[in-house]
Structure 1
Amino acid sequence: MTTILAVANQKGGVAKTTTVASLGAALVALGRRVLVVDLDPQGSLTFSLGHNPDKLETSIHEVLTAGVPVGDAVLGTDEGVDLLPATIDLAGAEALLLMRPGREYTLKRALAPLLENYDVIVLDCPPSLGVLTLNGLTAATSVLIPLQCETLAHRGVGQLLRTVSEVQQITNPDLTLLGALATLYDARTTHSRDVLADVSGRYDIPVLAPPIPRTVRFAEASASGTSVIAGRKNKGAQAYRDLADNLAAHWTDGTPLATYDADA
């Protein structure tokens, strides 16, 4: 059974795209067949994996709105992951989909022909709770919430959790909330630990291990069109490899997810 993981948070700048690209590459290194899907009109995932969104003729937009076969839009990458790219045209998809019956299921139907080709599909949801994010949550088997370790970062988490709950009740009863993933984490500061403890206590959700440290390697990797996994060894890449190990074991044999204790 293909695992479809939605990486979602309506707040921007919390490392959603970095998480999708790096986790996808780390899962490929574990022998998994991986597809990553760019659902953000900004096309950041597409760019960070070495493709120029401005030069693409076929993308997720045409798949969702014009009935183009999804296989026609899939691209290869140097990371070994396959990519379903996005362009700025996707910004108009929200309005087009709003007029369609069953609009929340559009992505799920589009991905169906690819399920036998991949072990894991990772969805990079846009920084909103609009139709595209609802499509991602409806298509997914599980959801992960990247959370920047700063005071204002968890504003809106409650709203996202309510949206996840509504999706579970209405369009996707099988959706599992894996928990939060701490990003841009600085273990030297009590502030980062305090934010995580507050999120875990206030919303009663697990925080997955390990937290992803703040490092300049992420920005360097995106600028070069690769994931941080492909570069030199660094603490950020190792954290995503450890996260991939954690998730792969959970998906394969039900091993309980390792979680991070901010109070430890």
Structure 2
Amino acid sequence: RFGNRLHLLPACTDAFLLDVRLASVRAREAALERALRPVEADYDIIVIDCPPSLGLSMDAASYYGRRRDNETTGNSGVLIVVQAEDSSADAYGLLTSQIEDMRGDLALDIDYLGL
């Protein structure tokens, strides 16, 4: 149906170890960007689906989703998926706090694309 225009790379079973591996990487926030840079030009859209954690993998995904120089607002950013329940509201608050910290600490423009 998509004429070879949609590619999915499923998570592996040891993805929960990603934060442990990222802990030893220099400039870990940019690790995902370095990994995807060779293929970015081949795609119109790249969506990173993160595990529901507040770890280093979330930082790397948020950093990757930042607005880059000369990029139009709304072309990159974070889309936050939540359930309508109290624990999701709490997690949303923690996540947005983490993103706001990254925005301030690293002087990044990270747009919220939706909820």
Q: TM-score, normalised by structure 2?
A: 0.77
Distance across 1 between alignment mates of 2:16 and 2:87: 27
Q: Contact conserved, 1:129 with 1:160, CA < 8 A, in 2? A: yes
2:33 is equivalent to residue 108 of structure 1: yes
For the residue of structure 2 that corresponds to 1:121, the secondary structure is coil
2:20 aligned counterpart, secondary structure: helix
Secondary structure of the residue aligned to 2:47 is strand
4+ long deviations beyond 4 Å: none
| Mapping 1:1-80, distance limit 5 Å | 80=5
Query: In the aligned structure 2, how far is the partner of 1:129 from the partner of 1:151?
Result: 17
1:1-264 alignment to 2 at 5 Å?
80-140=5-65, 141-171=76-106, 173-180=108-115
TM-aligned CA deviation for residue 92 of structure 1 = 2.3
Instruction: Return the index of the structure with the highest Cα Rg.
Output: 1
Instruction: Name the CA distance, whole Å, in 2 between partners of 1:107 and 1:172.
Output: 18
Per-residue CA deviation, residues 47-68 of structure 1 (Å, 9 max, x unaligned), is xxxxxxxxxxxxxxxxxxxxxx
Q: Using a 3 Å threshold, how does the CA distance of structure 1 residues 151 and 91 change in structure 2: closer, same or farther? A: closer
User: 1:172 Cα shift?
Assistant: 6.4
Higher strand proportion (structure 1 or 2)? 1
Task: Compute the RMSD of aligned alpha carbons.
Answer: 2.3
For residues 47-106 of structure 1, give each alpha carbon's deviation from its aligned partner in whole angstroms, at most 9, with x where no partner exists: xxxxxxxxxxxxxxxxxxxxxxxxxxxxx7xxx520223212323232122022211110
Distance in 2 (CA, whole Å) between partners of 1:95 and 1:171 is 22
CA distance in 1, matches of 2:107, 2:44: 20
Find the residue that maps to 1:124 and give its secondary structure.
coil
Of all paired residues, the percent bearing the same amino acid is 32
Structure with greater proportional helix content: 1
Q: Which runs of 5+ in 1 are unaligned?
A: 1-24, 30-75, 181-264
Partner SS for 2:46: strand
After TM superposition, give the deviation of residue 131 of structure 1 in Å.
Answer: 1.0
> Residues of 1 paired with 2:52 and 2:98: CA distance?
14
1:138–1:171 contact (8 Å) kept in structure 2: no
Code of the residue aligned with 1:96 in structure 2: it is R
- Answer yes or no: is the 8 Å Cα contact 1:108–1:139 preserved in 2: yes
CA positional deviation for 1:147: 2.0
The answer as to whether partners of 1:105 and 1:138 remain within 8 angstroms in 2 is yes
Normalised TM-score (structure 1): 0.36
Q: Which ranges of structure 2 fall in alignment gaps of 5 or more residues?
A: 66-75
